[in-house]
Chain A
Amino acid sequence: MAKLEKSEGRKPAPSFQDLILRLERFWADHGCVILQPYDMEMGAGTFHPATTLRSLGPKHWRAAYVQPSRRPKDGRYGENPNRLQHYYQFQVILKPSPPDIQDLYLESLYAIGIDPKNHDIRFVEDDWESPTLGAWGLGWEVWCDGMEVSQFTYFQQVGGFDCDPVSGELTYGLERLAMYVQGVDNVYDLNFNGGVGDDKVTYGDVFLQSEQEYSRFNFEHADTAKLLEDFRAAEAECKSLLAKGDKGARHLMVLPAYDQAIKASHIFNLLDARGVISVTERQAYILRVRDLTKACCAAWLKTEAGGAHG
């Protein structure tokens, strides 16, 4: 720690990728399996089966991973310095939540260059609820000098089932954190690779075009008729897989079924961005996704990783 303290002034702030590498190193040192992003579109790292499903059942579990989060409605055609329809979350799940989880979290901030002796770190009440996951927990948003840099949640229920043991979930908003440590006001100006001069690659170099193109897609061109059909198809497939994999006390096809629930959830988000879902329908769609995730969670508890015996 002493080494970092001294170097904070001299060394340039960590690049965007360096931030990820440091967080991965840190949590690997604390016993987490470092996973790679789940290969599906999802609204938050919590949807990753390594969190949603693994938080259920008695087995201990520690994992950390980056998850691209897609929020079609938040697209701004690359014109807003803070809002993105695609951004990165760094997700840590510790099950059961260790007694020193807050200290671990603060050490991780230190590892990425935030020294709590000169910054005002605060745990501000923020209860978390995900209607589509049938999940809720209590915790905080963590503030650094007035900016929310992480979500900190003790899962109480997922898929309508009590979490026992309770998982502690940490979600770092990587772009925000990077903007903070680099002192940048526009996300597209972030130094992505740490290079200088011609070698510097910015976040804009990597993602600006993608934000523009996906904003067009999300708001204007996504084929809503096809999406509505896709939603129904994913829902049907999810239910069908859940039925086919159900062998009484055991379930043999939870993960493929859950993939379809993730898919349905993302399609719903796209439809929402396209503005074709009315207020009343909205609630109905959320409930349909929730039914899928709940059924997947119930099935998960009948698998070995979910803690089923025999």
Chain B
Amino acid sequence: MAELLLELFSEEIPARMQNRARADLARLLGDKLKAAGLEFGEIKTFATPRRLTAMIDGLPKRSPDVSEERKGPRVDAPEQAIAGFLKSAGLASVDQAEVREDKKGSYYVALIEKPGRPTADVVAEIVPDIVRNFPWPKSMRWGSGKLRWVRPLQSILCLLDGKVVDFDIDGLKSGKETRGHRFMAPKAFAVKSFKDYTEKLREAFVILDGEERAALISKQAHKLAAKQDLALIEDEALLAENAGLTEWPVVLMGEFDADFLSVPPEVLATAMKAHQKCFSLKKGDKLANRFILVANLKAEDGGKKITEGNERVIRARLADAKFFYDQDRKLSLEDRVVHLKEITFHEKLGSQYERVQRIFRLARALAPLVGADPDDAERAAILAKADLVTDMVGEFPELQGVMGRYYALDQKERLPVADAIAAHYKPQGPTDAVPRDPVAIAVALADKLDTLVGFWAIDEKPTGSKDPYALRRAALGVIRIILENEVRLPLLRQIRAQLPGDARQKDQVAQSLLDFFADRLKVYLRDQGARHDLVDAVFALGGDDLLMIVARVEALGRFLDSDDGANLLAGTKRAENILRIEEKKDGRKYDQAPDPALLELPEEKALAKAVDEVEQAAASAVANEDFEAAMSAMALLRAPVDAFFDSVTVNADDPKLRENRLRLLNRIRATTQTVADFSKISG
């Protein structure tokens, strides 16, 4: 069994692309080896800023021999057909083909033996192919060549069982050499195996495994922080990015002037992270005037110059941030609102200013539904976007909302107003917390509903993987805010009220958006591990209050899990099937009430009575939003339905009886529709 080692050594690969490149390399190598008939043990891939590496073990020396039989034309077929067959099978004459017999006569068979190939030959073929067609998100050419790679590809190391697999990609020849750290060990060296490769790299100041680099950074950072009695503010994304920017991470600590601590901590942390990729530190629950930086080098002077340099840059960055913070507070948020006219939200949906005009009215209208003070909601919505035209948010867009809150507090806005400015963007993703304060809820809902309704009105909906305006996220945000805060919102009416156009257009667009919410709700419930397959069955009844719909879905789910529920579902489906068939056959509906006089058998009578009672009980329970009671009522239907199907022949000879029984079946369907459309439930 042989080991394959492949290293694609290049100029610096963007940190954000490294992990996907690893996955792509593993997938492409695996697929192509398998396609060539080669089985293998494990594929491991690694990335550093300058190399993309794969190791595959358990490879055979050769691919297995394959023999294939190909059936050809009959022996008396036209010459042309036989010649074509010989050519496609790679045979020189008919003598090389076998003749076989079947009932219809004799025909040719070609026996094609495909001998296995040395694995090295396969590798020499697939690696250039992978390199030429690698799915980098962005790739480039360099020099006078035509080859594309993420950045110039400098060398390729390719060893099978310690021996170089020879190939050449646009003049780049495969070999057994690589290089170490750019500055600490730049000389080329040869390797013999994966083990040898990783060990020699380590001696040459390269840690191959990105996860090991990340763990090392984290460990060193915590250690340095602890020494100063400080705590590291963890940041997984920043850690991964630093691991992707270094081959030999060395963690250092720098300091900045404590005067900067008068600037909000989010600003300081963002300034250090966004531009310098530095970690912030805490002393107790306050930001400390220290930071952690990750260098890619063990400096000869122990990192003194590197730390000084970074401190100087951080100082300039923080001075900028402080300057912005001081400048921004010279103009009130209110006075900034008019400048939102300069920010186009969307060509067809106008500027942010126009959005704010819609959002504040909407927030005011929604306020009573969520228990918010309408004046606070309106005020917060008016100011919510004003920080977009501050210098700080211009510099650090990720601080939108956060800065608005600080500036609002600075100008003595009420606390719920200020908090709502920060919280109205929430939730930003499936794991982000939803706003909890009523004012924030009103503004957050208004913001998201305005976005969704706006894009629906101009027919810019997400399609497939394309969702450039993050509308799925906005809809999920609305769903989570409603459910987690138990907000009662008649969504369809709300959407309709926001829409322009005539009644028909409004209905159409509103229904389309509500369907989108239903889809998102299913995804949300599935992610929650809840019943999502029942959403359609409940939505089909025309409700638009998400909180109630989910309550119904849950109650329905529990009911269907019970014996009564499962049997009633089966009975109802049976009734529906019979009805569908008979109604189609007769070309008519059986939706009139059954005639009590025509009820003959006791089971018929019992069922007729039961459906009426159950329907009434369930309807009144639903009206009281007591879905458990509605389901309990439904459970009473099971026994009469079962008994009916056991003893009554629906398709009776007497057409009158038959019609009456079909009407009775229709009553089962109608009654169950009080709680859900059972036809939309699978199973």
Contacts and interface: CB of A to CB of B under 8 A. Distances in A.
B309 A97 contact: no
A25 interface: no
A125 B15 contact: yes
A46 B254 CA distance: 36
Contacts of B299: 117-120
A127 B142 CA distance: 15
B284 interface: no
Interface string A128-156: 00000000011110001111000000101
Contacts of B245: 122, 124
A98 B143 contact: yes
A119 B152 contact: no
Interface string A60-86: 000000000000000000001110000
A165 B309 contact: no
A137 B297 CA distance: 28
B183 A116 contact: yes
Interface in A149-190: 154, 156, 164-166, 168, 180, 183, 185
A145 B140 contact: no
B283 interface: no
A310 interface: no
Interface in B130-153: 138-144, 150-152
B285 interface: no
B256 to A, nearest CB: 12
Contacts of A168: 142
A279 B344 contact: yes
A36 interface: no
Contacts of B143: 96-99, 165-166
Contacts of A146: 276, 278, 293, 309-310, 313-314
Given A118-B301, A119-B306, A120-B297, A185 B144 contact: no
Contacts of A139: 151
B183 A121 contact: yes
B300 interface: yes
B11 interface: yes
A164 B295 CA distance: 36
Contacts of A185: 312, 315-316
A96 B183 contact: no
B17 to A, nearest CB: 8
Interface residues of B, number: 46
B12 interface: yes
Interface in B260-308: 276, 278, 293, 295-297, 299-301, 304-306, 308
Interface residues of A, number: 39
Contact of B140 (A120, A137, A147): A137
B154 A99 contact: yes
A240 interface: no
Contacts of A183: 312
Contact of B309 (A82, A125, A156, A180): A180
Interface string A36-73: 00000000000000000000000000000000000000
Contacts of B144: 96, 164-166
B16 interface: yes
A144 B49 contact: no
B343 interface: yes
B342 interface: yes
B371 interface: no
B306 A127 contact: no
B300 A117 contact: yes
Contacts of A145: 305-306, 308-310, 312-313
A98 B143 CA distance: 6
Contacts of A102: 11
B312 A147 contact: yes
A80 to B, nearest CB: 8
A123 interface: yes
Contacts of B142: 96-97, 154, 166, 168
A127 B295 contact: no
A201 B499 CA distance: 67
Contact of A125 (B16, B139, B276, B297): B16
Interface in B293-352: 293, 295-297, 299-301, 304-306, 308-310, 312-316, 319-320, 323, 342-344
Nearest first, the 5 closest Cβ-Cβ pairs linking A and B are A145-B309, A125-B14, A123-B12, A146-B310, A120-B295
Interface of A: 80-82, 96-99, 102, 116-125, 127, 137-140, 144-147, 154, 156, 164-166, 168, 180, 183, 185, 278-280
21 contacts: A81-B316, A82-B316, A102-B11, A116-B183, A119-B297, A119-B305, A119-B306, A119-B309, A120-B310, A123-B12, A125-B14, A138-B139, A145-B306, A146-B313, A154-B142, A164-B144, A166-B141, A166-B143, A166-B144, A180-B309, A279-B342
